[in-house]
Every structure is written in structure tokens, then in C-alpha cells.
């Protein structure tokens, strides 16, 4: 049977771009329906996200969190596991970062605290992924259910810990004391200014660089190591994995440990990079948005970076848009985000057959 | 007299693949018409068009001389066409009666419909000698009877043209013969039968006319009495093929593997493998015959280490393997046991992988394919290129997705992977299932070559012809147990068939 080839750029670029355009088209109709000018709204959104240094900085700051959680979802997904628990793993990862910073910031310099905080984030996040992984691998409990449960447990645990143990004495606010400055991740605008590069002030910090390094790490791990080979075998054909003698339980557990660790790095950005104290609800849904990012990025590190930047832009540009046009409330911005997820995630294959068919016919003719 | 069904210039294209091209077919009423062709020749597509699953791009269908427009299976049923699928479309925990009326219940309240159906079914069963207990639960019936339910379903809906798609895949030779008697009875009642198969024997035994398909085209029409197996095989493949295997007398020597009283239970606690004992000798091919689903898959799975046994032990390569000291598939490979699984899509390959990746499955931890940290892509690619050349895999492109190779070439990738590891014991399941006739010859030669180099081979196949052509010794399995063993020289289709149905002892009064 002959098999005509569809050019690679069709799947990688054309179809996602078409899907996004369609999402924006429908969003435009929504904005039209509430009586605003969609072109003007799009202008504010794009300018707010990319138009000036600070906006760009915010976009990339949001994207940092989404890269971590997107990678987390994709590593698990490559092994056939649907990790819905990125939110909880990120939360507990932040706890790890916070505990390291709170206990060492009076005694240790930054270059000691930073690597320990990275390890803390990874270990705590991984630990939160381990329990559902163990239950899935050895006891057959479905990982989707257990990871969702663990999000709730993480949330309650953090409230308990912060309110009862980590809150400052005599204060009402449910957060820890602010870390000393030697436990702060440097902002990128601070890093760049001694080099003579001036960029606007924004929360964008060193964890963005770490996120990019994690992308390289995931790419190498999944596509170029034998562990990655086993992971992908398990994810695409579990029967073949058993046939090949792969220890599926072990691979499952390791996949979730790595996934949880990656999600835990959200804590680096939020706790050590921006808030500089341990607080409630800093994960703000990044764990869930990571699912959409991974889906849209097709579980590929480059795709995840692009999708994370797109979502980061929607967060940042959307906030700007809601500020500039008050009738477009933050809820409408959420609708636009939802439409992007709908068209590029759930309806991903809507045009696929037709477009591929077109290119196949053209190739044959 | 008009034809019962006539196809005129039917064409169908899926993307770049021309599945059917200008197909013309004329089937006289009251005949059994065989359609034969290799996998991928377009038989199933054509039948799906007749039954309304697909619409033809061009061309049309005539039934009894009148042009009909079939856009759904309901249209096909209205035109008097019924279909018995290869995989039964039955609700297993419904009774025969409930299954038959499914989709034709005759109103919201079942009572009237069931009453009428019961009467009608009895009439049909009588008229076509299709005796069956209409209140039996389908899953409790043997497959032969389940198939009868499918036939009744079609007849109940008024089918005058019956299409059977690979109907004998799950039947013993005796059950198949019974099916053909039923088809003859149907024919005498004026029903027209279209029989889709790749088995030449069945065509010769049961049809009036036969049409041959090759690469989406109808290449020949023959009257069955005026053709032969060899003639049809040549038409199917487009070149002369040999249907036998050349091999010398086996020279069995040392026992390389022995299994004693192996038993295995499935997750529901049902015993799937019952006290199976066997010995594999160097330089010998041991064939396992049996109707699909009688414990052969479980046997392969236990021997290869995929599932642990619950009872019994295996002696292999100086090791004793039992339930207390199991070995997994990777450990069995390390002891030089190779395994070509029965189902290459489900087990033997990862169809989403590129060929060079699938070509190391199971051996991916070998130092040959690995550097210190990363896998050695270059080594994998070089080796894949070499093997593709040596085994004539087409197209020889290690980067092509495994799913995009034809069945025969996929199988070559799997067999090459296992055989090139130079194993002591090769377990091989359904080596030529879904493989083009042209490639079968080559695969059989490779198996015999491995035997002649002093290796032990365990061959599982549901194709009796294959078992008889390749094996030196044959074991027959029924319901998870070994029910007979015989030298290949003493085997014939009838003996094996009776053993496969576990009817040998009763009928012959001979102990097997």
C-alpha cells in the first residue's frame, strides 16, 4: 500500500495556527456580541502581551510556570499516564522551596540556597507524585482519580501548615515571613543590567532560564535515553512493553516522580522568584493550564515553550485588555482562553483529515 | 435472468490509496460466489461498500437487475443484503432470540415482537436446517453456533444475498465443513452467498464461481470446477508461488527446553493453561495446533516470561523457572530465548515508533545500542539498514513509522529482530498471519534455516496447512490442555481436526 507523505510543517505549524485563528475568530464574535470592537480588543491584547518590555516580561513570567507544568504533564503522558495532579505537586514543591529558604536564609549564601531549593522543589513535588504513582503501579488505583484527590489533599495540607506552623506570630495574614534577600532568585532585569542590557522591570526571574534547561533535559531524557525509550513504549503500547520485559510498574513510578518534580519547580518561580514568602494558592491553576499547554504543544518541549508563551500572553494581554476596556471583564478573558483550549485541544483534529487529504491529493497529482 | 447482485465499475479511494478500482462483478442468483485475494487486496472495502459502510466514489450496484442506492447498512438490509462479519456483532449476554431481533424489535414493547420473532425463527431454522435453541445465552454457545446466530439474524431481516467475511477463521475444519453444508442448503433455497476468504481450500470446496482480487482490482473470474489452487494462488499474487515447504528430515538432538505441568489462571481465576508439559529439542520444529483461543497464547506468554506461571516449572539454559522463581521477558531474552508474538500490532511492535526504534524492542538495554547516558542512534540506524537489506524489507527506510509498512514487512522486521539475536530457542506465533503469500515462502524458509542451524523452534499457528508444512512434531491443544501429540508424518487434516475439537478419542476409540 502506498503511503503519501504530508509535509511536516502542515502538522507542526499550519494546523495549530489555523486552530488558534479560529479560536480568535469565535472570540471576536463574543466580543462583538457584548458590543465592543474585536479589532481594538485584539490590539490591546497583543500590545499588552508583547508590545513593551514589562508586558513581555510578565508574559514570560507566566510562561515559566506553564513550561514547568506543561513538561510535567507531557512526561507522564509519554508514559500513558494522565497526571491531573500538577497543581498539587506544584503546591507541595513550593513548600519544599519555602522550607529550604526559611531555614537557611539567615545562615547560607545564595549559591548554597539556590541548588538546595531546586532539589527541595523537585523532591517535594516528586514525593507528591509518588503516592498516586505507587497506587497506580502496585495497587491498580486509577491515576486520574488519585491525582485529583491529591490536589485537594495538598490544598488542605498547605492551609494547615501555614496557619498552624509557618504563619508569622501576631499577624492575621496566612503566609510565612519574607525571606532574606539572599534567598531571592534574581530578576532577569537585575541580571541583565550589569551587562549593559536594560529591560523593563517585571517578575521574570532566573527560573525562566531553568525552565528552558528543563526543556532540554526532557527532550534528551524522553527521546534519547533507554529510559525514555521504555517510557514511550509503555505509553504507546503497554502490551509490547511487557513483551519487551520492561518493568512497567517501575517506569510508571519514575515517570510520575519526574513529572511531579518538574511541576514542583513552579515553586521556584513563585516562592523564591516573586513572592519571597510561603503563601496560600500561589499555584493559581497553573497545574491545570499545564494540561492544555502539553496538549497544544503536542507533548514536545519546543511545542510546550510556544504554547506556554501563547497562554502566558493570554494571561498578561488579557489582564491588560480587561483594564483598558472595562466591559470586557476578566471572565470574558477566561472565555477567550477557554476557546483557545477548545479549538487547539479538544477540536484539534477538526481540520486535520481535510487538510492532510488536500496535501496528499496534491502530492499524488 | 438478472443477476442477484451486480457491481458496475466500483471505485473507492482513501487518500492516496486506491482501495478499489473499476470493480465489476456479476453474481447469478442462487450460487455461492467466492472472492479471494491477499490482505490489502481490497476485499473488505468492497464488501463494506456493498453493505453500506462506505460509499463508492464512482460506479453503482444493481440488485435483481434494479439499480439500488446503498448509503447505510439499513439500505443494504432493505435491498435484501445480509452480512456475517469476521468478528461477530453479537451481544454476548443476550439470548439468541434477543440478538436476532436487535434493531428490528417491532415496537416499543418487546412482548409482541419477541412472540412473532420466535415463530419466524422456528420457521427459518426449519427451512434452512439451522437448528438452534433460541433461548440460549449467546456467550454460552460454541463459536460455530454463534456464527449460526449471525446467519439467522441476516435471514430474519429478509436477506436474499448473504455476505460472509472470513467465516472460518475461528472454526475447526469440521465446523467449517458444517458451515459449508449450511451454505449449500441456503443456496438450494435460492439464497445467494458471497464468501470472502483467503483460504484456497475453502474456495475449492464450496463455491460455484470465484473472483480474484489483487491490489484493488478484480483480476479474474473463474468457474470453480475449471480452476485449481495453484492457478488461484498465482492469480492472487501475480506470479507463480509454491505452496509447500522444502525441508530435510529433522535431526533432533539435545532437549533445550522442557516444561512440566505448566498451569496458569487468568484474572477471573479461570484456568487457561492446564498441566501442559512439553520438550523442545535442538534442530526441531514443534508445532502447536489448535483452534484459536485454546491456550496457545497463554502457553507462549508463560514460556516467554510475559506472564508468570501459577503452577509447574520450566527448565531452560540450566535454570529452573517456577512460580516462586519467575523470570520476566527480559530475563528470558538474556537466556537466549527469542519470541515472535502472535499479534505484531498489539505486542511485537510499537506502531508509532520509527522502524529503527521498533527494531530494538526488547533488546533496547543491550550495550550495542547504548552509550554511557544516551542511546546510540547511529548504531541502531546502521544495524537497521543492514537488516532491512538482508531481509529485503520494503521500503528500506529505517525512519518510516512502523505502522506504514505492509503486514509482511512488519513481520520481517519482527522476525529479523528476534532471529538475528542468534537465540537458542525461538517461540513463534502465527508467523504468517496477515502476510502476503509472496512473503510467506520467505518466512518459512527462514524458520527452516534456523532449525537446520541446530536451534529449537516452537511454532503456534491456527493455519493447519502451515503447521503440517513446517512442523517435525505436532502437539494439539484444546481448552488449555495438550490433547494429543503426533509425528508430523502421521498427521493429516482430518486427524488434527478431530483432535482440535477433542473428538478424536470418542470417534475413533483410539488413545491419542
From B435's Cα to the closest Cα of chain A, the distance in A is 13
pLDDT (tens digit per residue) in A119-174: 999 999 999 999 999 999 999 899 999 999 999 999 999 999 999 999 888 888 89
Q: Does A251 touch chain B (CB under 8 A)?
A: no
pLDDT (tens digit per residue) in B241-298: 666 778 888 888 899 999 999 999 988 788 889 999 999 999 999 999 988 788 999 9
Region B150-175 average pLDDT: 86
C-alpha cell, A39: 479589532
Q: How far apart are CA B487 and CA A167, in angstroms?
A: 83
Region B131-156 average pLDDT: 88
Q: How far apart are CA B27 and CA A233, in angstroms?
A: 48
Question: Which residue in chain B has the smallest CA separation from A362?
Answer: B16
From B307's Cα to the closest Cα of chain A, the distance in A is 9
From B16's Cα to the closest Cα of chain A, the distance in A is 6
Look at residue B391 and tell me whether its pLDDT is greater than 60. yes
Task: Classify the C-alpha dihedral B120-B121-B125-B126 as positive or negative.
Answer: negative
Region B294-316 average pLDDT: 93
What fold is seen in the domain B254-347+423-501? Rossmann fold (3.40.50)
For residue A128, tell me if it sits in a domain.
yes
From A11's Cα to the closest Cα of chain B, the distance in A is 16
| Second CATH level (architecture) for the domain B3-237 | 3-Layer(aba) Sandwich (3.40)
CB contact (8 A) between residue B361 and residue A1: no
pLDDT at A5: 63
Q: Would B3-237 and B254-347+423-501 be classified into the same CATH topology? A: yes
Question: Which residue in chain B has the smallest CA separation from A235?
Answer: B350
pLDDT at A241: 96
Task: Classify the C-alpha dihedral A183-A188-A189-A191 as positive or negative.
Answer: positive
For residue A348, tell me if it sits in a domain.
no
pLDDT (tens digit per residue) in B193-210: 999 987 888 888 889 999
What DSSP string describes B383-404? Answer: HHHHHHHHTT-SS--TTSBGGG
CB contact (8 A) between residue B361 and residue A243: yes
Give domain limits for chain B: 3-237, 254-347+423-501
Look at residue B508 and tell me whether its pLDDT is greater than 50. no
Look at residue A3 and tell me whether its pLDDT is greater than 60. no
Q: How far apart are CA A343 and CA A23, in angstroms?
A: 6
CB within 8 Å of A25: residues ≥ 6 apart: none
Question: Which residue in chain B has the smallest CA separation from A4?
Answer: B16
Q: Does B16 touch chain A (CB under 8 A)?
A: yes
For residue A324, tell me if it sits in a domain.
no
Region A186-205 average pLDDT: 90
Q: Does B61 touch chain A (CB under 8 A)?
A: no
pLDDT at B512: 38
Residues in chain B within 8 Å Cβ distance of A230: 364
Look at residue B2 and tell me whether its pLDDT is greater than 80. no
From A328's Cα to the closest Cα of chain B, the distance in A is 44
Question: Which residue in chain B has the smallest CA separation from A240?
Answer: B347
pLDDT (tens digit per residue) in B29-49: 999 999 988 777 888 889 889
C-alpha cell, A85: 495532579
CB contact (8 A) between residue B331 and residue A245: yes
Region A87-97 average pLDDT: 97
pLDDT (tens digit per residue) in B81-124: 999 987 788 998 999 998 988 877 777 777 777 888 888 888 88
Domain count across chain A: 1
pLDDT at B229: 83
Question: Which residue in chain B has the smallest CA separation from A217?
Answer: B374
For residue A364, tell me if it sits in a domain.
no
CB contact (8 A) between residue B369 and residue A226: yes
Residue A72 or B463, more confident = A72
* Least trusted range by pLDDT, from A276-290, B297-311, B437-451: B437-451
pLDDT at B16: 67
pLDDT (tens digit per residue) in A11-62: 777 888 888 889 999 999 999 999 999 999 999 999 999 999 999 999 999 9
Per-residue pLDDT band at B1 (split at 50, 70, 90): low
Question: Which residue in chain A has the smallest CA separation from B364?
Answer: A226
Q: How far apart are CA B229 and CA B134, in angstroms?
A: 39
CB within 8 Å of A119: residues ≥ 6 apart: none
Domain housing A149: 68-310
Segment (H or E) for A56: helix A53-78
Q: Does B332 touch chain A (CB under 8 A)?
A: yes
Per-residue pLDDT band at B505 (split at 50, 70, 90): low
Radius of gyration of chain A (CA): 22
Per-residue pLDDT band at B7 (split at 50, 70, 90): very high
From B443's Cα to the closest Cα of chain A, the distance in A is 20
Regarding pTM above 0.95, the answer is no
Look at residue B471 and tell me whether its pLDDT is greater than 60. yes
CA distances from B228 to B202, B234, B427 (A): 12, 10, 34
Share of chain A above pLDDT 90, in %: 75
User: CA angle B185-B187-B192, nearest 5°?
Assistant: 145
CB contact (8 A) between residue A245 and residue B406: no
Q: Does B306 touch chain A (CB under 8 A)?
A: yes
Look at residue B507 and tell me whether its pLDDT is greater than 70. no
Q: Using an 8 Å Cβ cutoff, are B477 and B172 in contact?
A: no
Region B152-177 average pLDDT: 86
CB contact (8 A) between residue B329 and residue A364: no
Radius of gyration of chain B (CA): 25
Q: Which of A2, A224, A233 sits opposite B361 (nearest CB)?
A: A233
Report ipTM for this prediction: 0.82
Amino acid at each position: 500500500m502506498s503511503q503519501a507523505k504530508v509535509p511536516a510543517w502542515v502538522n507542526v505549524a499550519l494546523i495549530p495556527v489555523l486552530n488558534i485563528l479560529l479560536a480568535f475568530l469565535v472570540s471576536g464574535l463574543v466580543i462583538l456580541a457584548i458590543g465592543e470592537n474585536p479589532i481594538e480588543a485584539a490590539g490591546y491584547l497583543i500590545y499588552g502581551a508583547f508590545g513593551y518590555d514589562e508586558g513581555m516580561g510578565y508574559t514570560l513570567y507566566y510562561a515559566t510556570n506553564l513550561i514547568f507544568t506543561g513538561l510535567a504533564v507531557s512526561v507522564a503522558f509519554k508514559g500513558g499516564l494522565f497526571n491531573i495532579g500538577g497543581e498539587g505537586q506544584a503546591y507541595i514543591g513550593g513548600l519544599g522551596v519555602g522550607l529550604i529558604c526559611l531555614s537557611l536564609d539567615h545562615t547560607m549564601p545564595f549559591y548554597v540556597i539556590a541548588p538546595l531549593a531546586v532539589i527541595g522543589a523537585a523532591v517535594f513535588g516528586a514525593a507528591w507524585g509518588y503516592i498516586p504513582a505507587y497506587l497506580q503501579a502496585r495497587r491498580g488505583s486509577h491515576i486520574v482519580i488519585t491525582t485529583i484527590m491529591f490536589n485537594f489533599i495538598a490544598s488542605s495540607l498547605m492551609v494547615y501548615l501555614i496557619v498552624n506552623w509557618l504563619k508569622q506570630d501576631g499577624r492575621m495574614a496566612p503566609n510565612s515571613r519574607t525571606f532574606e534577600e539572599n534567598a531571592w532568585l534574581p530578576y532577569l532585569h537585575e541580571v541583565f543590567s550589569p551587562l549593559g542590557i536594560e529591560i523593563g522591570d517585571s517578575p521574570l526571574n532566573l527560573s525562566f532560564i531553568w525552565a528552558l534547561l528543563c526543556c532540554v533535559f526532557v527532550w534528551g531524557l524522553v527521546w534519547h535515553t533507554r529510559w525514555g525509550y521504555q517510557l514511550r513504549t509503555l505509553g504507546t503500547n503497554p502490551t509490547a512493553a511487557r513483551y519487551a520485559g520492561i518493568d512497567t510498574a517501575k517506569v510508571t513510578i519514575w515517570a510520575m516522580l519526574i513529572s511531579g518534580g518538574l511541576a514542583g519547580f513552579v515553586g521556584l518561580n513563585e516562592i523564591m522568584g516573586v513572592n519571597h514568602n510561603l503563601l496560600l494558592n500561589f499555584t493559581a491553576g497553573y497545574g491545570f493550564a499545564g494540561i492544555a499547554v502539553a496538549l497544544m504543544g503536542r507533548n514536545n518541549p519546543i511545542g510546550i515553550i510556544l504554547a506556554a508563551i501563547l497562554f502566558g500572553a493570554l494571561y498578561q494581554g488579557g489582564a491588560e485588555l480587561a483594564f483598558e476596556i472595562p466591559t470586557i471583564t476578566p471572565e470574558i478573558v477566561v472565555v477567550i482562553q477557554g476557546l483557545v483550549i477548545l479549538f487547539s485541544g479538544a477540536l484539534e483534529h477538526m481540520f486535520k483529515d481535510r487538510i492532510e487529504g488536500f496535501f496528499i491529493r496534491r502530492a499524488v497529482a | 435472468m438478472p443477476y442477484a447482485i451486480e457491481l458496475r465499475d466500483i471505485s473507492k479511494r482513501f487518500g492516496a490509496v486506491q482501495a478499489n478500482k473499476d470493480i465489476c462483478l456479476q453474481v447469478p442468483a442462487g450460487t455461492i460466489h467466492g472472492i479471494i485475494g491477499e490482505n490489502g487486496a481490497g476485499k473488505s472495502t468492497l464488501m463494506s461498500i456493498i453493505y453500506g459502510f462506505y460509499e463508492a466514489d464512482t460506479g453503482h450496484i444493481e440488485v435483481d437487475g434494479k439499480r439500488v442506492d446503498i448509503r447505510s447498512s439499513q439500505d443494504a438490509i432493505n435491498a435484501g443484503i445480509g452480512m456475517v462479519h469476521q468478528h461477530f456483532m453479537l451481544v454476548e449476554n443476550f439470548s439468541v432470540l434477543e440478538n436476532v431481533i436487535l434493531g428490528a424489535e417491532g415496537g416499543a414493547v418487546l412482548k409482541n415482537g419477541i412472540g412473532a420473532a420466535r415463530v419466524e425463527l422456528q420457521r427459518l431454522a426449519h427451512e434452512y436446517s439451522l437448528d438452534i435453541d433460541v433461548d440460549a445465552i449467546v456467550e454460552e454457545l460454541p463459536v460455530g453456533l454463534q456464527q449460526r446466530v449471525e446467519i439467522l439474524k441476516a435471514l430474519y431481516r429478509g436477506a436474499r444475498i448473504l455476505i460472509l467475511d472470513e467465516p472460518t477463521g475461528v472454526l475447526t475444519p469440521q465446523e467449517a465443513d458444517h458451515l459449508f453444508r449450511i451454505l449449500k442448503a441456503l443456496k438450494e433455497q435460492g439464497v445467494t452467498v458471497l464468501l470472502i476468504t483467503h483460504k484456497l481450500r475453502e474456495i475449492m470446496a464450496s463455491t460455484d464461481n470465484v473472483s480474484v482480487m489483487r491490489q484493488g482490482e478484480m483480476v479474474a473470474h473463474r468457474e470453480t470446477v475449471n480452476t485449481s489452487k495453484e492457478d488461484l494462488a498465482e492469480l492472487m499474487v501475480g506470479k507463480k508461488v509454491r505452496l509447500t515447504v522444502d525441508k530435510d528430515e529433522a535431526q533432533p538432538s539435545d532437549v533445550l527446553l522442557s516444561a512440566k505441568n505448566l498451569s496458569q489462571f487468568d484474572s477471573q481465576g479461570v484456568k487457561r493453561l492446564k498441566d501442559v508439559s512439553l520438550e523442545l529439542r535442538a534442530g526441531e520444529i514443534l508445532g502447536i495446533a489448535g483452534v484459536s483461543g485454546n491456550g496457545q497464547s497463554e502457553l507462549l506468554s508463560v514460556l516467554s516470561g510475559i506472564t508468570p506461571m501459577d503452577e509447574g516449572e520450566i527448565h531452560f539454559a540450566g535454570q529452573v523457572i517456577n512460580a516462586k522463581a519467575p523470570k520476566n521477558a527480559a530475563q528470558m531474552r538474556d537466556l537466549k530465548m527469542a519470541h515472535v508474538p502472535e499479534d505484531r500490532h498489539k505486542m511485537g511492535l510499537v506502531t508509532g515508533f520509527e522502524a529503527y526504534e521498533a527494531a530494538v524492542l526488547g533488546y533496547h538495554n543491550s550495550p550495542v545500542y547504548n552509550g554511557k547516558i544516551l542511546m546510540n542512534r547511529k548504531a541502531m540506524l546502521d544495524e537497521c539498514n543492514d537488516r532491512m537489506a538482508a531481509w529485503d524489507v520494503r521500503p528500506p527506510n529505517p525512519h518510516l513509522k512502523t505502522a506504514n509498512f505492509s503486514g509482511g514487512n512488519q513481520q520481517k522486521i519482527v522476525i529479523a529482530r528476534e532471529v538475528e539475536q542468534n537465540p537458542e530457542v525461538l517461540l513463534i506465533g502465527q508467523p504468517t498471519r496477515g502476510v502476503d503469500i509472496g512473503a510467506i515462502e520467505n518466512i518459512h524458509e527462514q524458520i527452516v534455516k534456523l532449525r537446520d542451524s541446530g536451534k529449537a523452534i516452537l511454532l503456534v499457528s491456527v493455519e493447519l496447512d502451515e503447521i503440517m508444512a513446517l512442523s517435525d512434531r505436532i502437539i494439539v491443544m484444546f481448552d488449555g490442555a495438550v490433547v494429543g501429540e503426533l509425528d508430523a508424518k502421521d498427521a493429516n487434516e482430518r486427524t488434527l481436526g478431530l483432535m482440535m475439537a477433542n473428538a478424536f478419542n470418542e470417534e475413533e476409540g483410539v488413545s491419542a
